[in-house]
Every structure is written in C-alpha cells, then in structure tokens.
Amino acid sequence: MNHVQGCTHGCKYPCYAYLMKKRFGQIKSYEEWLQPKLVSNTLELLDKEIPRLKDKIQFVQLCFTTDPFMYGYDEVKEMSIAAIKKLNEAGIKCTTLTKGILPPELSDLSKENEYGITLISLDEKYRKHVEPGAAPYAERLASLKALHEAGCKTWVSIEPYPTPNMIDQDLNEILEAVSFTDRIIFGRTNYSKFANAFENHRHFYNECAKMVIAFCEDKGIAYHIKSKTITEE
C-alpha cells in the first residue's frame, strides 16, 4: 500500500522507487520526488476495498515506493496510523518499514503487526550523504526498541548494504545494535556503479551474508537474505 507519492528522505543509493516512478513518467525530477503528495481519500478507498478483498489478504505492507512515517511529516504519519487501525479492525495485520521514527502509539494497535526500520550503518556522516532527509540512525533505533519493549513484533532491513569503497564499517556493530529484534533482512546494494566497482564485491557480500546468518542463528533471530546477495564468485 502506497498512500503517498514521493519521499522527503531523498535516498541516493540510488532509490529504486524513484527510478521507477521517473521511468514511467509519474515523477519528472528528483526535486519533485522530494515534495510528497498524500492520497487524500486513502481511508475512503480502504472502506471500499477491505470488504471486497479482506478474505484474500494475508497482510498489508506499508510501503514499497514511499515511507509511512516520513521524517517530519505528521500528516503522513497520522494517515498511516489511521489506515493501520482500519485494517486491523477488519482483522488484517500490517507490516511497516521506515527510515523515519516509529510512533509510540503503534504499540496500542494489533500485536500481530510487524514494525521495521532500515539500518545500513551507524555512521551519521554516511547517513547524511545517502539518506539526507531521513531520521538519524540513533532515533530510528530508539523508536524500534521502544516498540519491542512494549511487546510489539519488530524487524530490521539491512539493505542496501554498502561496499567498503562507500564506507568502511563493521557489520557486527550494526548486528549487535539490533540484536533485540525478531527478524533481520540483509541485502546488497543494487543499481550502483560504486558497489559494482568494488573489486571483490561478490566475495564481500557472500561473507557478509554468512556473518548475518551465523549471528542470527546464534541469537535465535529469524532472518532472510535477499536474492542475488549470495552469488558464485
């Protein structure tokens, strides 16, 4: 479910959602992408679609091409919470993923919901470079941990993970920082000349994936390695 077009986070990995929207003519420029447009009749659309589709829905993900808790945009946050509440009332669980701040009031909604953050580094200088409009890493982590401590299901997406020519960092430090969560997803950086330019990028991602698997199995954390992250060298 994508109830917003555009995203103020302005990720420069590059962002697949922005590339697709631009390719199909829905967005003309990066600057336009940074000016999000909320679908004002989102709740009315849900009122029509839920009765028709609820028996076919396993869960609803917010979002694939935008962010449900866009940093600094209360109107997006409020619409997302209202939509989740409406879906939960129909017996439909929701999964969210954000580079913003997870609102504490999510803990009052269905405990079947799953709340996630994207976390590819702990270095704020790097965050400002690749995710200029997103929430600081420490704030994201704190909001996730607060929901975890409130009894909510939480998860972390460590994707798109950068190669050492982008930033030299220790993956173990990131894994330790999210060791409280229920599930970790790990994936490589795609569509990037910098990632592909790193001479041993295949070996690097294979080793990172092994590290994630070993860590999760040791801690009893569910995990998923995204396709094309593990490859033949």
Tens digit of each residue's pLDDT (9 = 90 or more) over 101-138: 999 999 999 999 999 999 999 999 999 999 999 999 99
pLDDT of residue 176: 98
For the entire predicted model, the pTM comes to 0.94
Residue 20 Cα to chain centre, angstroms: 17
Distance CA 84, CA 110 (A): 9
Strand partners, 20: none
pLDDT of residue 111: 97
pLDDT of residue 14: 81
Which residue ranges of the chain lie beneath pLDDT 50? none
Query: Other C-beta atoms within 10 Å of 130: how many?
Result: 21
H/E run at residue 160: strand 153-161
Mean pLDDT for all residues in the chain: 96
Pairing of strands 4-5, 37-38: antiparallel
pLDDT of residue 15: 86
Distance CA 129, CA 190 (A): 17
